[in-house]
């Protein structure tokens, strides 16, 4: 990977070149470039004064989607430390915070030199540190008067930017694992430096609305936007009506969403009479959307949709462009891998490479992929083999080089001797005009026989009956694909970039079954 300047120094150079510009807007309050740069440099200088540098870890705990989240990461990285976000594992919902117990587990694993927080997290920081065998110093951004022995990261201080340092790992972001235990995805400085340098050269002055947590991939989106001279507008989470109001108010040109959020925008009653002419790009990730729903989204939002398939471990794997969204056949795919990304479909049984048309595990060598899982060498070795990241996703490449996804290896359900991919059933459910969202998963009964379960969210004002959906699935697929249980609910729990939380849904279904058995005994 070609060497590039320290990514934070690249961002600071852009801020210094346009000091009166406004790179950040939070709750309609602007932060100027000069203010942002000064706060980053002061916090970095104060960290260095207390021994933070290469080889150190700085645990970051802030309220979601605030300037503090960016400032503390930039400051820690500017002095060469590793910034470790401990707030949560949900890449879509900023309000979804890990329990104190889970955050404590991460802190014990990381052993940070400093716990860097904003003022709103003082109580949680004291709670966490009180349970640690060795308490790290607490550093507060926004004034430490409420905690006299804390490091005040807002106190003016200076740092010679020519002394900016780099360690090996810049950022660790925790994601939810299939077992529920958080995994720390580690991003090298070299990757961050190249990503930001690429955006700086592109110079796209986007006005980007961020609704997903800055602790995850939206943080990289913010970096790319700021270094290119754009504006990042921060919202505390996704609300379709608020997003629709923000687009014309701030002249938003770019949105980054999960698949369900695209549908929520496209189908919102305010969309038809909202001025969306400023929008140029709507990037969305997560579970592949039903082709018919995508066609409606294109009509509602315009030719601006980019479907991104990727993982926390690999970054971008494939892209479905706005032009691709106009083709019904291509809408059933997740697009093509870019030139810098290598994709190989491998047999799950023996690892051999499979030809076009055959389904297997999607394996990737990405342009910007992780260095590994934090303090998890065995797990890293299982997932990354000979440079190839084994995603755990099942898919196939067609003759045109487009990638089709079938689901997760771990999610395949065996029913009456056949393998059922949950995503296939989900797509069919989503094609029903009365369905807003759906998730399909397998649950074992007391005889260890798997059955298909589905959680379905009806559209507003629509009354659905499971029997209607059962007939719909039978007609589109087969009787073997019909869920044994269809739960109608108001919302779906989400993890990752808009993906249904099947671990939670499965646990709830198991609990319901246990209660039913208990009631009948």
Q: Give all domains of the chain, ordered by start, each with its CATH number.
A: 7-193 (3.40.50.980), 303-410 (2.30.38.10), 412-520 (3.30.300.30)
φ, ψ (nearest 5 deg) of residue 110: -80, -35
Cα 211 to chain centroid, rounded: 11
Q: What pLDDT was estimated at residue 474?
A: 93
Give the single-character DSSP code of 336: B
Give the single-character DSSP code of 132: S
Separation CA 89–CA 216 (nearest Å): 8
Q: What pLDDT was estimated at residue 260?
A: 85
Separation CA 502–CA 496 (nearest Å): 11
Which tokens in the block code for residue 511?
């609990």
Q: What pLDDT was estimated at residue 146?
A: 77
Which tokens in the block code for residue 174?
């925790």
φ, ψ (nearest 5 deg) of residue 165: -120, 165
Q: What pLDDT was estimated at residue 497?
A: 64
Question: Taking the CA of residue 182 as centre, how many other CA atoms within 13 Å lie in the half-sphere pointing to its CB?
Answer: 28
φ, ψ (nearest 5 deg) of residue 381: -65, -30
Which tokens in the block code for residue 129?
């540190």
List 390's β-bridge partners, or say none. Answer: 363
φ, ψ (nearest 5 deg) of residue 311: -130, 165
- At 372, which helix (H) or strand (E)? strand 372-373
Give the contacts of 458 (CB within 8 A, at least 6 positions apart). 434, 435, 436, 464, 488
Cite the beta strand spans of 183-230 per DSSP E: 183-188, 207-210
Q: What pLDDT was estimated at residue 290?
A: 78
First to last CA, the chain: 64
* CB of 477 closer than 8 Å to CB of 425: yes
Q: What pLDDT was estimated at residue 496?
A: 64
Separation CA 474–CA 423 (nearest Å): 15
Which tokens in the block code for residue 473?
């699935």
Render each residue's pLDDT in the chain as its tens digit; 521 residues: 567 999 999 999 999 999 999 999 999 999 999 999 999 999 999 999 999 999 999 999 999 899 999 999 999 999 999 999 999 887 778 888 888 888 999 999 999 999 999 999 999 999 999 999 889 999 999 877 878 889 999 999 999 888 888 889 999 999 875 555 789 999 999 999 999 999 998 878 999 999 999 999 899 999 999 999 999 999 999 999 999 999 999 999 999 998 889 999 999 999 999 999 999 999 998 776 778 889 999 999 999 999 999 999 999 999 999 999 999 999 999 999 999 999 999 999 999 999 999 999 999 999 999 999 999 999 999 999 999 999 999 999 999 999 999 888 988 898 877 888 898 899 999 999 999 999 999 998 766 778 999 999 999 999 999 999 999 999 999 888 999 999 999 999 887 666 788 888 999 998 888 777 666 65
At residue 408's C-alpha, the angle toward residues 406 and 412, to 5°, is 85
Question: Taking the CA of residue 85 as centre, how many other CA atoms within 13 Å lie in the half-sphere pointing to its CB?
Answer: 34
């Amino acid at each position: 990977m070609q060497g590039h300047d320290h990514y934070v120094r690249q961002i600071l150079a852009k801020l210094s070149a346009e000091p009166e510009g406004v790179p950040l807007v939070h709750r309609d309050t602007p932060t100027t470039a000069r203010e942002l740069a000064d706060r980053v440099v002061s916090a970095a200088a104060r960290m260095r004064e207390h021994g933070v540098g290469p080889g150190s870890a700085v645990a970051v705990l802030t309220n979601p989607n605030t300037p503090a989240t960016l400032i503390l990461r930039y400051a820690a990285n500017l002095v060469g430390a590793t910034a470790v976000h401990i707030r949560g594992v949900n890449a879509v919902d900023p309000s979804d915070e890990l329990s104190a117990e889970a955050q404590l587990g991460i802190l014990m694993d990381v052993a940070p030199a400093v716990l860097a927080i904003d003022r709103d997290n003082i109580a949680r920081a004291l709670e966490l540190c009180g349970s640690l065998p060795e308490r790290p110093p607490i550093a507060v951004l926004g004034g430490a008067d409420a905690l006299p022995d804390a490091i005040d990261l807002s106190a003016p201080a200076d740092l010679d930017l020519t002394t900016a340092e780099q360690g090996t790992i810049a950022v660790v972001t925790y994601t939810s694992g299939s077992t529920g235990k958080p995994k720390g995805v580690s991003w090298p400085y070299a990757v961050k430096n190249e990503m930001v340098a690429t955006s700086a050269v592109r110079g796209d002055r986007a006005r980007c609305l961020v609704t997903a947590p800055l602790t995850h991939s939206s943080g990289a989106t913010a970096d790319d936007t700021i270094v290119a001279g754009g504006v990042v507008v921060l919202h505390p989470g996704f609300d379709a009506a608020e997003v629709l109001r923000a687009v014309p108010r701030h002249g938003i040109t770019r949105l980054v969403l999960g698949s369900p959020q695209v549908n929520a925008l496209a189908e919102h009653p305010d969309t038809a009479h909202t001025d969306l002419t400023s929008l140029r790009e709507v990037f969305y990730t997560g579970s592949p959307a039903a082709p018919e729903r995508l066609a409606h989204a294109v009509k509602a939002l315009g030719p601006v949709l980019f479907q991104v398939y990727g993982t926390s471990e690999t970054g971008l794997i494939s892209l479905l462009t706005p032009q691709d969204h106009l083709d019904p056949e291509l809408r059933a795919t997740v697009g093509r891998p870019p030139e810098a990304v290598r994709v190989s479909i491998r047999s799950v049984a023996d690892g051999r490479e499979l030809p076009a048309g055959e389904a297997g595990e999607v394996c990737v060598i990405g342009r910007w992929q992780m260095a590994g899982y934090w303090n998890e060498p065995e797990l890293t070795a299982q997932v990354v083999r000979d440079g190839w990241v084994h995603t755990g996703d099942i898919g196939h490449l067609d003759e045109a080089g487009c990638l089709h996804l079938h689901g997760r290896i771990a999610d395949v359900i065996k029913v009456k001797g056949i393998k059922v991919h949950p995503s296939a059933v989900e797509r069919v459910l989503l094609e029903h005009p009365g369905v807003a969202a759906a998730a399909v998963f397998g649950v074992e009964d007391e005889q260890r026989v798997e059955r298909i379960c589905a959680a379905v969210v009806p559209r507003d004002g629509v009354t659905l009956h499971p029997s209607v959906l059962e007939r719909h699935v039978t007609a589109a697929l087969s009787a073997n694909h019909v869920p044994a249980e269809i739960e109608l609910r108001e919302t779906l729990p989400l993890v990752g970039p808009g993906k249904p939380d099947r671990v939670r849904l499965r646990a709830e279904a198991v609990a319901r079954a246990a209660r039913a058995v208990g009631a009948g005994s």
